Amino acid sequence: MRPLRGLYAITAGDLGPVERALATRALCALQYRDKSTDAARRGREAHALARLCRTHGVSFIVNDDVGLALAAGADGVHLGRDDGAIAAVRARLPGRLVGASCYDRLELAELAVAAGADYVAFGSVFASATKPGAVRAPLELFARARGLGVPLVAIGGITLHNAPQVLAAGADCLAVISDLFDAPDPAARASEYGRLFQDEAE
């Protein structure tokens, strides 16, 4: 798998655009996020996305569900504050990625890394239609978190317009849902995000 730096896409219902976005090779990771109770469908979708991500060399991460991540052969799991102890999950997923949502709190990130998290996410960095009530994380938090030594993911209200601010602040990954999958052409939008990281490297 490629390093965790770049566009970190998160699914939002319709999976039709996901394959097209993956084919651009602009993604560093894809997170499968589905809060429904349809376990059979979730299992089918997770297995299908895991295969697609392997084909395109993209890390496949399951939101919240360690059992589903294991069953689908995912590359890792992403945990929120109520999704289980990181150290216990780390023990169940040796050699795989464990990410943690840390909201607007550096101390949560410090605890997560100490418990074995491979990356941490801060947000919402901007107002988000997906989670309108989410706490806002200041961009200055990324500079303060650099010393943690793990990739830093920014999430919440990110668009092509404001993404350069987030990268300048020190984020390694841009977690995007709406601005990617609600775009008229998600593949073209993914490529545009990919160019942000190419431009930064030049």
Residue with tokens 């939101």: 63
pLDDT given at position 146: 95
Give the single-character DSSP code of 147.
Answer: G
pLDDT (tens digit per residue) in 64-118:
999 999 999 999 999 998 877 999 999 999 999 999 999 999 999 999 999 999 9
pLDDT given at position 100: 97
pLDDT given at position 200: 66
Give the single-character DSSP code of 16.
Answer: H
pLDDT given at position 198: 85
pLDDT given at position 202: 52
| 15 pLDDT tier (thresholds 50, 70, 90) | confident
pLDDT given at position 149: 97
Judged against a pLDDT cut of 70, whether residue 147 lies above it is answered with yes
Distance in angstroms (rounded) separating the CA atoms of residues 51 and 30: 12
At 76, phi and psi to the nearest 5?
A: 175, -175
pLDDT (tens digit per residue) in 43-71:
999 999 999 999 999 999 999 999 999 99
Residue with tokens 């801060």: 122
Mean pLDDT for the chain overall: 94
Please state the rounded mean pLDDT for residues 123-131. 88
Please state the rounded mean pLDDT for residues 3-13. 92
Judged against a pLDDT cut of 70, whether residue 150 lies above it is answered with yes
At 98, phi and psi to the nearest 5?
A: -125, 120
pLDDT given at position 128: 84
The answer for residues whose C-beta is within 8 angstroms of residue 169's C-beta and 6 or more apart is: 139, 140, 142, 143, 154
54, 90, 131, 136: the catalytic one is 131
Judged against a pLDDT cut of 70, whether residue 201 lies above it is answered with no
Based on the residue annotation, tell me whether 35 is a catalytic residue of this protein: no
Strands 97-101 and 152-155: unpaired
5, 96, 101, 124: the catalytic one is 101
| 1 pLDDT tier (thresholds 50, 70, 90) | low
DSSP letters for 77-111 = EEE-TTS--HHHHHHHSTTSEEEEE-TT-HHHHHH
**What is the largest distance, in Å, between two alpha-carbon atoms of the chain?**
45
Residue with the bigger pLDDT between 1 and 37: it is: 37
